[in-house]
Amino acid sequence: MKRSGRGPFSSNFAIAIVVAVVVHGFLSRSVAADPPRHGPPAEKVPEFAEMLWAILIDGSNMGADSGWFHPSERRHEWDWLAARFDRNRNGEVTAEELKGSARLFRALDRDGDGAVTSEDLDWSPRSRYLQARALARGRFAQMDRNGNGRVTLAEWEKAFEHAANGKTFLTQEDVAALLYPAPASPRGATGAKAAGPEGPSRATLLKGLLTGEIGSWTEGPRLGQKAPGFTLETHDRARRISLADYRGKKPVVLIFGSFT
């Protein structure tokens, strides 16, 4: 009898696909179709199911809002600010309503339009401000030829010459192409068949998910929930520190770094 070349991981991969489709579809029905723009929804699909779904559907092309890569939850979001300072309930908080320092107001009024709105406090991928900044960063990087974080007059003139394409002026279309260039085709791609996406394969991502290398089966506490107890060694292994030693006595900040 000939033995199949497929290992147990292949079977686990197929099972994971079925489980992800069923679980994600079932749990999605309990989540509002249009959740609140700010603040976590009352019910949500578990992050592990979201991550599994993102791996199977998008692979390494998953976006900044996929899986558990969501914006952090904060107590002091727009709803909190508006409830306390938007006295006329018009969806804006002016400097007069805020009654704080000018420096604080400028920091909150991110787009500088003279009023703090929900858009100013939106840090999700849906934010028009962040989308525009991402485009600007990409164009800046193309102009900054030596990568020193500055665009000199010579580099700016070079960008002008490229956009003008032999002319001594820029048209509206030239400026649009300068600021919002079309995405470049993958190098070496011919016809409709382009080069595959960079990054690990779905199988590699799934294996990392199931083995705990790129996440955990269990979620951490939500905003406002009590942190679970834990004990960790110090970096020099000289002693062990427990959260219980500090709970109720002083604030504790956990910083998780990524070292590759």
Question: What's the pLDDT score for residue 93?
Answer: 96
CATH number corresponding to 73-122: 1.10.238.10
| Domain assignments of the chain as residue spans, ordered by start | 73-122
The pLDDT, as a whole number, for residue 21 is 55
pLDDT at 87: 92
* Ranges of residues in the chain whose predicted pLDDT is under 50: 1-6, 29-42, 186-196
- The answer for residues whose C-beta is within 8 angstroms of residue 234's C-beta and 6 or more apart is 240, 241
CA atoms within 13 A of residue 77's CA, in its CB half-sphere: 17
Tens of pLDDT, residues 156-198: 999 999 999 999 999 999 998 888 776 655 444 444 444 445 6
83-86-91-95 Cα dihedral, nearest 10 degrees: -140
What predicted TM-score, i.e. pTM, was given to this entire model?
0.56
Q: What is the pLDDT of residue 82?
A: 95
For 80, counting Cβ atoms within 10 Å of its Cβ (0-12 exposed, 13-18 middle, 19+ buried), the class is: middle
26 three-class SS: helix
